[in-house]
Structure 1
């Protein structure tokens, strides 16, 4: 029999342990599943192998010629593409101060591409980088990789190699005031004269400024020769101060490209064509002229705006940019390029879209990828928080911490009050009409006496009993007057007020968190959004990837404010309801206590209570 019981006990324990083990396994599996889901959401794995282990970071750069970017069709071949970096899409503190560690790698994540940096300012958080994409076609998304984060890297840019062999000359006008523009191609067709002025905030970095006189002169050279019937492409960004009159942008021999009454035109001896509409005054416009041997076309902002049937004659001699005899130009010019081929229309549109304010062609990814790990979107957003936003988020979190501590303390105190009140009320009901001091209750031990005296109702009770005994000592056993009853009530009400103040103490922290938290967070968001748009305006890049990271980081301030306010609101309502219930209970108890003490005194006038007889 004993053996059967022992076996039964062992089997029972085994079943219990098996159930516990199963529950543990289920809990552990759920925990692991949640961790996996969280990891998949927050982190992204690198799609390709790492190009070079000496570089710590990289980010994806997408050249988008589909409908979601620049909707172009047809092959473009080797194309020069502008990448704009700013504090909204690039962490300058993780790269070298001069950008020497920047590298651009092709889609295969193996082949470095020729590139050069026109401007890189870590202090203002703005950079412009030109990269030569070897093959680009319309209707595709081509992903490149931008590597950075190598403290030992040497300058890796290749200025001349960034331009294909069909470029005759290219001018960024990135030089300082009084310096003649340099040709960025391998042809080295540097200008002989400097522009009259420069503007540090051109369409892409610096631009050349012309006050209506003083054109730039470029001497003739074999690489600038234009044979009869040969193809040719001219492109430039133009910002006229005024639209009236004839203003030459490019002039060489019989060929003049300019604006007349604001309408772009190209004149070639007897042949000419003019755009159907005018450009905007004091606004940047992309103007291109393409000659293919039989037709000359003019493009405005990447769209064909005029055409004429003509072929180029043989043209030689110096080139003038920014004015000509009888056609002075007033305004700014940037990014002038001359090619000895007819660039395809798709490339013209892509150039205008990539380099202009819209910036639809190139999208820089929101997150950095770190070597050996995925790029955390949340970590990237946190890295974009401005110092003032970080302070505001920290303030909200500090306020939330104070609110949580207060809620925990108040709920703990209220629970303790409920427990001690419950013990007291049980003793109070047992005494019926014979109320005595807590220490004189029959069968009570010192520990319970201390426990009851710690309760709010117990303190009210002790005060009422003390007031009654004081009157019995001074006036004897006789019925209480109305004034005496009110005096006793006032003494007990004073304890009620004291208990209410204890329960309400520091509750203002919750009200501050509820009302102030969202406004503090909103302030941080407004400041962050303002800073983001300011940086985007300075960089001249308005695509969604330029704006989204900064705004996402700014919204963390609002999230912090709401995270502070929402728990505080729920906690305040819960705690306040319990405080109100406790206050009501004390008020009702005071009425019962004073009424019963008055009745006891009236009865005692006829028959003294036992404890008073014992005292006598």
Structure 2
């Protein structure tokens, strides 16, 4: 009962695990892949709050099977880790021929120091496209430019439709797909819409990837100004800065370590009332104790906006401000006359000029590339900006990791399916040969097990009957064999099962030895014996015949066992041969393509090792089966040898020289 309960528990646990592993969001999608977003110490190591954030999923031939997806990627679906909740996403670029995909995915409530699992489903040729660019970003994101357009104004991917007012020059091979190329002269104009309007002291976030072409003095990347107020984000001799102009007075953040030209860098600005923080590559770079001015004008990307600063005339300290001049200029002339009269009638008073606000200096146009511009009407935290810089950057990041592809409703799912798909043709040839060896080995083991089992059972029936024969060792043949089994139960068993005698005669090696021995005795002592005895030479002749019969029985027992020995000895070596050939082909392919990375090497090596696994799968069962069968063959052989010794001893006792034969003894008794 205890064993039954344990078996039931194991079966239930296995069924539960199977059901969990088989969980599938939608059976119409045949493929899926798990993506892990790791903000813990083992990943991106982000400790500040992040919140809901878009994440860039870069798909390439090393982490995604484009051949199993639709050509346009319209069957892509992203599902949360619970395998139930679909997530919002949109595709910036998808090219199945080049093996490149750029997908933006909305991750709600990303926590620092944690891991988030997301399922990527694909492989449904009937699926319709379901991107949701507006749902990919939260409501505070008011502008997102991917710069994926060519010859048309940049399109806003957020929900606010803040498209640019002009088209820029596309930059091929940018950081994330295509970007915007700026030459220091042409600019991209951002609209003046209510969603982009800034109130005084408003919260604000701005971020973009930049690639400066050279060191420039006071170059504006982003500029938004009116006559007295403005915001400028740019580079000064490679040092990022943010400049705030309020009522004509400018403030600029302090300069830090400059960035070198020719490389991509992430610039982020987060503004709150009284404090503006500048970020470089996700880390704080500089701060400015200032607030944003009120702005509701167009902005420029790649250049500065012009500011009309009125000239300020010095004023006399002893006189009040002059009235505004009339249209005909009479008031102005009167004023000049009064001043002249005062000069002749009173001592000259010193002229004290009023304080003049320094006019902001116009910045030069930025020369370089820009990609992925995002503007928000709230202040993004340090964790959010670091998260964006880490997962969008050019360098490989520990933030995202991709698992293997899984298939639904197939025994080829998971790792095993990936391995099988990576096996080359030569590997399949060797695996096929090993499969044939395995099939033959199992056939031999099953057939031999049944043969030995039947022989052992038949010998167990025959042996007690033989041992109870007494001195009349030919009685079992003379009385039709099994009819002489001792005990009532044995006799009743024979009566009920008429085929038992045929079963023993067919399967018992001891019975065959017995019948051979009786046949040899009758050569020397025919029926109607008149007292013939057997000398030593006759008994030796009978024993020699029995020994020959034993050898033939042993040959029958060991027949086809050589198949198992070949499987044990040859299987691993054939598998090793397939592995070596597969590894050679993998490295030759890498040498030809020049693609040296773990994603290019791992499938080929893993597929090559499948040949070794196949060889071991052939040899290991054959090894266990061979040892089990040889043990049983050894036992049956020992039984036959013991039977020959016992049978010859009975012959010597019954027909030995100087002893009357059983026939003579019966005649004397009659």
Q: Please, what TM-score do these two structures have when normalized by structure 2?
A: 0.56
1:97-496 pair list within 5 angstroms: 97-176=71-150, 178-199=151-172, 201-253=173-225, 254-269=230-245, 270-274=250-254, 276-324=256-304, 326-356=363-393, 357-371=395-409, 375-383=413-421, 385=422, 390=424, 393=427
Asked whether the 8 Å contact 1:197–1:210 carries over to 2, the reply is: no
Q: 1: distance between equivalents of 2:437 and 2:163? A: 68
Q: 1:275 to 1:347 in 2, by over 3 A?
A: farther
Asked whether the 8 Å contact 2:578–2:608 carries over to 1, the reply is: no
SS at match of 1:525: helix
Q: 1:315 to 1:360 in 2, by over 3 A?
A: farther
When Rg is computed on C-alpha atoms for both structures, the one with the higher figure is 2
Deviation at 1:130, TM superposition (A): 0.7
Of residues 576, 601, 607, the one that matches 1:551 is: 601
Q: 1:338 to 1:124 in 2, by over 3 A?
A: same
Deviation at 1:69, TM superposition (A): 1.3
Asked whether the 8 Å contact 2:586–2:601 carries over to 1, the reply is: no
1:22-171 pair list within 5 angstroms: 46=20, 49-171=23-145
Deviation at 1:372, TM superposition (A): 7.0
- After superposition, the C-alpha distances for 1:499-553 in whole angstroms (9 at most, x for unaligned) are xxxxxxxxxxxx999999847733423534885947xxxxxxxxxxxx6543311
Q: 1: distance between equivalents of 2:607 and 2:83? A: 37
Asked whether the 8 Å contact 2:431–2:575 carries over to 1, the reply is: no
Deviation at 1:192, TM superposition (A): 1.3
Matched, 1:521 2:583: yes
Unaligned runs of 5+ in 1: 1-32, 34-38, 405-510, 535-546, 567-616
- After superposition, the C-alpha distances for 1:298-321 in whole angstroms (9 at most, x for unaligned) are 111101111111111112211111
Asked whether the 8 Å contact 1:525–1:555 carries over to 2, the reply is: no
Q: 1: distance between equivalents of 2:591 and 2:601? A: 5
Deviation at 1:53, TM superposition (A): 2.7
Q: 1:73 to 1:527 in 2, by over 3 A?
A: same
Asked whether the 8 Å contact 1:518–1:562 carries over to 2, the reply is: no
SS at match of 1:323: coil
Q: 1: distance between equivalents of 2:21 and 2:581? A: 41
Q: 1:326 to 1:310 in 2, by over 3 A?
A: closer
- After superposition, the C-alpha distances for 1:396-447 in whole angstroms (9 at most, x for unaligned) are 879999999xxxxxxxxxxxxxxxxxxxxxxxxxxxxxxxxxxxxxxxxxxx
Q: 1: distance between equivalents of 2:594 and 2:63? A: 10
SS at match of 1:217: strand
Q: 1:395 to 1:161 in 2, by over 3 A?
A: same
SS at match of 2:405: coil
CA RMSD of aligned residues (A): 4.4
Q: 1: distance between equivalents of 2:157 and 2:302? A: 19
Asked whether the 8 Å contact 2:179–2:369 carries over to 1, the reply is: yes
Deviation at 1:56, TM superposition (A): 2.2
SS at match of 2:28: coil
Q: 1:97 to 1:44 in 2, by over 3 A?
A: farther
Q: 1:142 to 1:513 in 2, by over 3 A?
A: closer
Q: 1:236 to 1:206 in 2, by over 3 A?
A: same
Q: 1: distance between equivalents of 2:71 and 2:39? A: 32
Q: 2: distance between equivalents of 1:278 and 1:226? A: 29
Asked whether the 8 Å contact 1:82–1:128 carries over to 2, the reply is: yes
Q: Please, what TM-score do these two structures have when normalized by structure 1?
A: 0.60
Asked whether the 8 Å contact 1:366–1:377 carries over to 2, the reply is: yes
Q: 1:274 to 1:117 in 2, by over 3 A?
A: farther
- After superposition, the C-alpha distances for 1:540-572 in whole angstroms (9 at most, x for unaligned) are xxxxxxx65433113246647989999xxxxxx
Unaligned runs of 5+ in 2: 1-9, 305-361, 439-572, 617-670
Deviation at 1:119, TM superposition (A): 1.0
Higher mean alpha-carbon deviation, 304-313 vs 552-561, is at: 552-561
